[in-house]
Amino acid sequence: MASCWTSRTAFFRIQVAATFATSLAIFPLVTWGALALGSSAQPSTIRIGGSSTVLPIMTEAIRAFRAAGHATKIDLKETGTSDGFRNFCAGKLEVANASRPINSKELKACASNRISFIELPIALDAITVVVNPANSWASQISTKELARLWGRQAKGRINRWSDVNRDWPNRPIRLCGPGKDSGTYDYFNKAINGSPDNSRQDYASSEDDNVIVRCVTQNANALGYFGFSYYKTNQARLKALAILAMSTPVSPSIASVQSGRYRPLSRPLFFYVNDRALARKPELQKFTTYAIRNGLRIVGAAGDVPLPASTYRLVETKLYKRITGSSFSGDLPVDLSIGEALRRSFDANKLPQFR
């Protein structure tokens, strides 16, 4: 996969390493050996929930972990990023899968319940806009057309393909997309409509991306959006649209995401791990370490876009050193270069209240 990375991204690797080295000097360094002292924790279930986009990665991580000879019981649920954070910050989950960074409201909820966590980037993603293969008129769509179609002002007004683009037929559009608990919903609407909650609501919604896949494949006039792995798994039944944000349309692919060309709909994906549970549960330590250490292979097998191998080594060090808190300070950044998005994942200059 490394051959897909440009010289600009190679320069970013040096920046990340330098930033991360600074962070190691700032944060307390506690090793697993120190954590194990005095621990009498017995093997118990690891509870994981959250993002449907991250679900294929976590599912593959669990499969590979068990194939490696580990029999730890793991309870995995798909409920959407926002619901995952609600349960995580209430102490009901040890790991939250997230397709966006934790927001300010969720940070406050975690803080009020004394939940500290480690934020671990695990993969990259391309939010993919898809249509039914029977669609012969659309091969690309601009960000302006997406905003015209999906903004809240479109409700009851933009209902036909010709309403979006006059060169398209006067046929009804069947819209399919994530629900409000989805991190993909938040990210897409921030990137396209300027705000995470600026979306029309008169469409078929679900927190289960497989439901959105079926919604598009069953209607020749449908259009929807979801994470790249769901498109890749179902690409024989779907048609992805290239996104026109600047002068040249760019199709979603591993190469276009890794090179930073697929903007503004590319983003990092995360695991959030409860720090106290990590200290008390050796089996959680083993599983999380295994998932990160084998991230390149696991993410590739799940159909998502891997980080560079060198970045996984930095993520593992972040886990080992227990660097807690979010590097995004409750913000939802969009249209960043991949290098900048990942650099922020290791940023040591967080506001004190979010450390």
pLDDT tens, position by position, 245-298: 988 999 999 999 999 999 999 999 999 999 999 999 999 999 999 999 999 999
Query: Taking the domains of the chain in order of start, what are their residue ranges?
Result: 2-123+267-354, 128-258
Q: Residue 336 has what pLDDT? A: 72
Q: Is the pLDDT of residue 27 over 70?
A: no
Q: What are phi and psi of 244, to 5 degrees?
A: -105, 105
pLDDT tens per residue, range 154-175:
999 999 999 999 999 999 999 9
Reply yes or no on domain 2-123+267-354 having CATH 3.30.410.40.
no
Nearest 10 degrees: Cα torsion 17, 1, 98, 192: 100
Q: What is the pTM of this model?
A: 0.86
pLDDT at residue 6, rounded to an integer? 41
Q: How far is CA 306 from CA 108, 218, 302, 303, in A?
A: 31, 31, 10, 9
Fold identical between 2-123+267-354 and 128-258?
Answer: yes
The angle at the Cα of 118, spanning 232 to 112, to the nearest 5 degrees, equals 115
User: For residues 28 and 89, what is the distance between their CA atoms, to the nearest angstrom?
Assistant: 22
pLDDT of residue 43: 57
pLDDT confidence of residue 347:
66
List all residues 6 or more positions away from 113 whose beta carbon is below 8 Å from its beta carbon: 89, 90, 91
Q: Scanning the structure block, which residue is given the tokens 């409000």? A: 180
Q: How many other C-beta atoms can be found within 10 angstroms of the C-beta atom of residue 11? A: 10
Select from 23, 11, 1 the least CA-distant residue to 338: 11
Q: Taking a C-beta distance cutoff of 8 angstroms, is the pair 221, 173 a contact?
A: yes
Q: Which CATH superfamily is domain 128-258 in?
A: Periplasmic binding protein-like II (3.40.190.10)
